Amino acid sequence: MSRAAAGGSVLLIGNFLSAVSGIPGPSEELAERLAGGGWTVLTASSRRGRSARFADMLWTAWRARRQYRVAQVEVYSGPAFFWAEAVCRVLRGAGKPFVLSLHGGNLPAFATRHEGRVRALLEPAAAVTTPSRFLLEAMRPYRSDLRLIPNPLELSTYPFRARERAEPRLVWLRAFHRIYNPALAAQVVARLTGEFPQVRLTMFGPDRRDGSREETERLGGPVELAGAVPKSRVAASLHQGDIFLNTSNVDNAPVSVVEAMACGLCVVSTDVGGMPYLVENGEQALLVPPNDAAAMAGAVRRVLTEPGLAEKLSRAGRAWAEEFDWSRVLPEWQKLLGSLA
């Protein structure tokens, strides 16, 4: 049986920009897994410029219409939402069923401002998925039959080390962008240096050039800005610390948090967006109010001083991360797309 016959044919529409960012997006990894499972996979787009990428999405959806049976389209808020609208018009014109995948912590707020457009986009889709319970609940008023399919990991590439006791080595891993509030991590370290002179923070991530990296750098302290890391080095980078800081002002179901839990780091995160849907406070992570350096420093202090807490968070986080392994998630995608293709 040929590889194409073993699966089906699918077009994945999203940002395929790992060559630029070093971090593959959700559809990029899905494309690789489906192809490995016998599917014929077309993708759009890897073009670097936004306009060129948008044009390539539209052109591929129409030009290649005889080469795929079903499409999957990433949906975010802001300008990317309008890209998805336009692509889905082309798909409908081509008579192709499509699956929408909702992403981004800002999407519910965007939907309240553009209710009619959101309903019009979601209604004709053959299925609508989301990787987080947060979006599942928040977007149900616009489409009642949403399906939860998590953002997956290849768990075998994240070796686990239980933090029976945590050392004051902190790690942060996101893009330097204001919505992720990287400066908060440096402010937390500044509050801990008196009590824990050996505290260190290593921050990994690409610079989105909105001034947030420079702001973080100006705060100084025992903070290393280590730059972006390729996916193959994420686990090794995370293992440089025992405590993972997630400082976001807006969030959905961040893969970086699941990666940290998979490695056994103790997660301290802001209690925003999808985070309380992703983890239970006090079980897999400690959650604190957003943009509150004192509260986050206090949570780190608990991990460092409270007997048994570090090991509890470490082991519970790893157990929860196992639910996100590709071996569990890929069959859900294959079943859904296969039913349409």
Q: Are residues 301 and 160 in the same domain?
A: yes
Q: Are residues 10 and 129 in the same domain?
A: yes
Say how far apart CA 78 and CA 177 lie, in whole Å: 16
Q: Are residues 192 and 99 in the same domain?
A: no
Q: Are residues 51 and 137 in the same domain?
A: yes
- This prediction's pTM: 0.86
Q: Are residues 147 and 183 in the same domain?
A: no
Q: Which helix (H) or strand (E) holds 336?
A: helix 326-340
Q: Are residues 276 and 329 in the same domain?
A: no
Cβ–Cβ under 8 Å, residues 129 and 102:
yes
**For the domain that residue 82 is a member of, what is the CATH number?**
3.40.50.2000
Q: Are residues 194 and 128 in the same domain?
A: no
pLDDT digits (tens, 9 = 90+) for 48-93: 999 999 999 999 999 999 999 999 999 999 999 999 999 999 999 9
Cβ–Cβ under 8 Å, residues 315 and 261:
no
pLDDT of amino acid 19: 75
Half-sphere exposure of 184 (CA within 13 A, CB side): 26
Res. 144: pLDDT tops 70: yes
Residue-range definition of the domain harbouring residue 57: 3-152+325-340
pLDDT of amino acid 66: 97
Say how far apart CA 71 and CA 61 lie, in whole Å: 8
pLDDT of amino acid 21: 64
Query: Which one has a higher pLDDT value, 6 or 49?
Result: 49
- Peptide linkage before 45 cis (omega within 30 of 0): yes
Following DSSP, what letter does each residue of 273-323 receive, concatenated? TTHHHHS-BTTTEEEE-TT-HHHHHHHHHHHHHSTTHHHHHHHHHHHHHGG
Q: Are residues 26 and 42 in the same domain?
A: yes
Average pLDDT over residues 158-165: 98
Q: Are residues 129 and 14 in the same domain?
A: yes
Cβ–Cβ under 8 Å, residues 286 and 302:
yes
Q: How confident is the model at residue 3 (pLDDT cuts 50, 70, 90)?
A: very low
DSSP bridge partners of 75: 102
Say how far apart CA 139 and CA 95 lie, in whole Å: 26
